[in-house]
Amino acid sequence: MTARAAAHAHTSHNHRACIDDALATARELCATRGVQLTPLREKVLHIVWRSHKPMGAYEVLDELARSHKAARPPTVYRALDFLMAEGLIHKIESLNAYLGCIEAGAPHSGQFLICQKCGATEEIVDPKLETALEAAARRAHFQPVRKVVEISGLCARCGK
């Protein structure tokens, strides 16, 4: 398990390591796949990774525009679409926001614990939950393609 994956979103940790790890992994993956992690896309990935709270596209845009005057909505959405296609970020559907993936390279839809109080969102990888999802679909003769699992509530720290 990487330092990044070991860190929990709601706990204090060396977040610089999260970012560095995420960017390094992204560069490796894109190089291997022969796709371009351009400076613009890397910048957007960096912005999304600034926290463990899902970030809205227009928040990303505001941040990006500070150093990139030409930034417009399509600029951001194209970068986000690329990063999602490469499995480097996830979209949190219930928030219309985006979050860095902690398991980039391993194709998955993502399972999330979203704290309603502090906003911190932790991506979990739970094989039993995955199995239960597959079983539920199978029971209905349904072929799953994308599985959205977003649990909102109170994180360990806020729920005390």
Tell me how far apart the alpha carbons of residues 83 and 152 are, in angstroms, rounded to a whole number: 24
Burial of 112 (0-12, 13-18, 19+ CB in 10 A): buried
> Segment 6-35, which members bind DNA (CB under 7 A)?
35
Min dist. Cβ of residue 40 to a second copy (A): 27
Which H or E run includes 89?
A: strand 89-92
- Rank residues 38 and 94 by Cβ distance to a second copy and give the closer one: 94
- Rank residues 71 and 104 by Cβ distance to Zn ion and give the closer one: 104
Say whether residue 41 binds DNA (CB under 7 A): yes
For residue 125, the number of C-alpha atoms closer than 13 Å in the C-beta half-sphere is 10
Tell me how far apart the alpha carbons of residues 47 and 51 are, in angstroms, rounded to a whole number: 8
Residues near a second copy, by CB under 8 A = 8, 93-94, 111, 113, 115-116, 122, 124, 126, 128-129, 131-133, 135-137, 139-156, 159
> Segment 53-72, which members bind DNA (CB under 7 A)?
56-59, 68-72
Task: Output the six-digit token pair for 138.
Answer: 């199978």
Note the residues at the interface with DNA (CB under 7 A).
35-36, 38-41, 56-59, 68-75, 77-79, 81-82, 91, 96-97
